[in-house]
């Protein structure tokens, strides 16, 4: 299992909103999570949870990574 009870994770809602959640329990590939900023909670499959906000952002449709900034010391 990827997460355990008490872990912080990120959930993508409606392919556009990233919400921070806390894992309450897990079993059978399903996780019960509680939303950090509200009283609600839901059960989701493991593939819908991400360890970092950056990982969650990468899963959004239309995600384009920012180009790396170069400086005068970078050589090709």
* Domain enclosing residue 36, as ranges: 8-55
Measured over all CA atoms, what is the biggest interatomic distance in the chain, rounded to whole angstroms? 52
In a domain, 72, yes or no: no
- Residue with the bigger pLDDT between 20 and 76: it is 20
- pLDDT tens profile 35-47: 999 989 999 999 9
Q: What's the pTM?
A: 0.78
Q: What is the CATH number of the domain that holds 25?
A: 2.30.30
In a domain, 37, yes or no: yes
Q: How many domains does the chain have?
A: 1
In a domain, 70, yes or no: no
For residue 8, is pLDDT > 90? yes
CA distance 57 to 15: 10
Tokens representing 48 are 């819908």
In a domain, 61, yes or no: no
- pLDDT tens profile 9-67: 999 998 889 999 999 999 988 999 999 999 899 999 999 999 999 999 888 888 777 77
């Amino acid at each position: 299992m990827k997460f355990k009870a008490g872990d912080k994770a990120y959930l993508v809602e409606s392919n556009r909103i990233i919400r921070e959640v806390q894992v309450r329990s897990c079993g059978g590939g399903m996780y019960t999570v509680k939303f950090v900023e509200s009283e609600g909670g839901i059960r989701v499959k493991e593939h819908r949870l991400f360890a970092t906000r950056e990982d969650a952002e990468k899963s959004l449709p239309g995600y384009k990574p920012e180009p790396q900034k170069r400086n005068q010391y970078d050589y090709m």
